[in-house]
Amino acid sequence: MSQLRFHVDTRLAFLLSENYRSTENAIKELVDNAWDADAERVKVFLPEPLTVNPEIIVEDDGTGMIEEELRREYLFIASDRRQRRGERTASKKRKVKGRKGIGKFAGLMTASTMKLETCARGICSSFSVTRDEFKKFDDIEGMPINLFTKKVSQEKHGTRIILSNLNQDLTFPNPTKLKQLLIQEYGREIDFNVEVNGKELGIDDVQGNFTEIKKEIPKVGEVNLQFTISNQKRKLRQPGIAIRVGGKIVGNPSFFGLEKVDDFPPKLLDKLYGEVEADGLADHVTADWGALIENSELLKKVEDVFQPILKEKFKEEYGREINLAQARLKKKINERLALLPEHKREYADKAIKKILQRYYGEPESKLEPIVNVVLDSLERSDYRIVIEHLYEASNSDIATLAEVLCEFGLIELAIMAEQTNGRLTFLDYLEQICINPTTLEELPHKAIENNLWVIGHEFTLFSSNKTLKRQVEEYLEKDYKSNIGEKRPDLLLNENILQEYLLIEFKRPSHNLIYKDYQQATRYRNDFGKYTDKEIKVVIIGGKRGGDLPPKKHREPSVEILVYPELISAARKRLDWLLKELRNRTN
């Protein structure tokens, strides 16, 4: 029996180097290696065009490598570092980016000569490889590499890669393109700074429309906003506006309330990348510096100042594209709008414009059905037609009048069935929100506020009273002025036709209701009760019922404790029953 073994052709190095789509991608691979080496700073130097003997240099202050690590790991082709050392780096616990063990060949895409110098634990090691040397040997394992070492200070560490004899068939790497690649990956990292030709990565390196604005805001002081609205197709990593206070980034990037604006296209949020410096918010940062206090009035002032500016800049950048993308659909819409009465046409035009803005970027196949629903409801005008028939019938015979009344009833049933199906769909989406553990109380509050039928049919006549709403907001501001660090409760106070009041206390779906929540809600009821002799019904809604909640017989009067899963299930059962009854009647 004879044995065989694989022969590793030296052409493998060139094949691996060609794995990168551009010289900028290849250089980014070398920066990724610095990330994996727990570097805090990386400097990239790119040559100017027409430079004599141009070189590309990538150097970092990472852990570096000793001779044994070079032999055992760096020169081990296609060795997956994650399998050897795990998914995280040793010191900074970063998620390792190197996957295939081929990043070492990235430099050979752009240059014929690659020199590596690396220092660790008092020793600097260096070697060079060239394309010509690879060509002299058939087997890559037989190619000798001369390693040079020298003693240095124990404090010196890091790696430096020098690429020379640049590939003449490729254009020089473009600093702007490289910065755009790197800021996508590393723009939000707080302990990894990248410089390209002496300039640290900044907001202005994102491809798009860059804006810098300084504003003096009362009680906050000077606030500096820098942002870019990207015009590239690629999605930004961690889009939004990062908030920097006292030189430190606080919490996750924010969209300054744009995500709550009804007519703002959600897809455009991914195009926003920026940073705001607001040292005046220092007193409103949580103790762990993990976030700003949610109900901070000063943060609200900052958002109120800059949100209109952001909206206007988006309009400048994407207004034309929105109009062009919707031109074909608009032609169909205009044909139907022209057939509507003038008073309806104006309303329909405004409604459809909002829909088109809101769903910017969605395909026509998704937009058209939504627009058609609006136009159908305006074109049919079933109620108006039936009322006209009733008026005509009242001056004729009783038989005609009965027939028209029957027609009116059938239309009522059809509309009720359509509404019931719509409500069932609404419950499906509400359920999705409520099973998400990260959902705050704000989302179910907004969803249920104008859909009180979810709680029960007896609540459908309650509606939001603006005066009451203002009283609630003023009351909460006074009540929580001294405890600004706590999250303000999410209250809703409504009124029905009999001037009876309904007070709802929302908690997040992941929150288990406890006795403290019950006490809080009833205290609000008692406080508001001082100003009216009408009964105030209290509903407390949360994720689950805690064991210390009082049983119904021991509760204060007119207090109901509900949980989202049961709430949705009960509403769905009522609608299913109603839909079944409607089908039986129409049949």
**CATH fit for domain 202-323, picks 3.20.20, 3.30.70, 3.30.230, 1.10.287:** 3.30.230
Q: Which helix (H) or strand (E) holds 274?
A: strand 272-277
Tell whether pTM > 0.85: no
What CA–CA distance (Å, rounded) separates 162 from 281? Answer: 45
Three-state SS for 40? coil
3-class SS of residue 328: helix
Domain assignments of the chain as residue spans, ordered by start: 11-196, 202-323, 338-431, 438-573
User: What is the Cα–Cα distance from 305 to 303, expressed in whole angstroms?
Assistant: 5
Interhelix angle for 364-380 vs 327-337, to 10°?
10
Residue type, 82: R
Quick one: three-class SS letters along 423-441? HHHHHHHHHHHHHCCCCCC
Q: How does pLDDT run across 450-463, given as a tens digit for each residue?
A: 788 888 777 766 65
Model pLDDT for residues 131-180, shown as the tens digit of each residue: 888 777 766 666 788 889 999 999 999 999 999 998 887 778 889 889 98
pLDDT tens, N- to C-terminus, the chain (587 residues): 544 444 455 555 555 555 666 888 889 889 999 999 999 999 999 998 877 889 999 999 999 999 888 887 777 765 555 556 668 888 888 888 865 556 677 777 788 899 999 999 999 999 998 888 877 776 666 678 888 999 999 999 999 999 999 888 777 888 988 998 888 888 888 889 999 999 998 888 888 889 999 999 999 999 999 999 988 877 787 899 999 998 888 888 989 888 887 667 888 888 999 999 999 999 888 877 788 887 889 999 999 999 999 988 888 888 766 665 556 677 777 777 777 776 667 767 777 777 777 777 676 666 777 777 666 666 655 445 444 554 555 555 555 545 445 544 554 555 566 677 778 888 888 888 888 888 888 888 888 887 888 887 777 666 555 555 565 556 555 554 434 334 444 666 766 656 677 888 888 899 899 999 898 888 888 877 776 777 888 889 999 988 888 888 888 888 889 999 998 998 888 888 877 776 665 55
Q: How far apart are CA 34 and CA 97, in angstroms?
A: 10
> Taking Cα atoms as reference points, which of 101, 28, 102, 94 lies closest to residue 58?
28
368 phi and psi angles, rounded to 5 deg:
-60, -45
| pLDDT tens per residue across span 565-575 | 998 998 888 88
Please answer whether residues 568 and 426 qualify as being in contact, where contact means their C-beta atoms are separated by less than 8 angstroms: no
C-alpha distances (whole Å) from 323 to each of 326, 329, 344, 361, 367 are 5, 10, 23, 11, 14
The CATH class that applies to domain 11-196 reads alpha beta
Do the domains 202-323 and 11-196 match in fold? Answer: no
Instruction: Please tell me the distance from the alpha carbon of residue 271 to that of residue 253, in angstroms, as a whole number.
Output: 13
Q: Which residues contact 218 (CB under 8 A, 6 or more apart)?
A: 301
Give burial (CB, 10 Å; 0-12/13-18/19+) of 287. Answer: exposed
**Which residues fall within 8 angstroms of residue 23, CB to CB, at 6 or more apart?**
109, 110, 170, 171, 172, 173
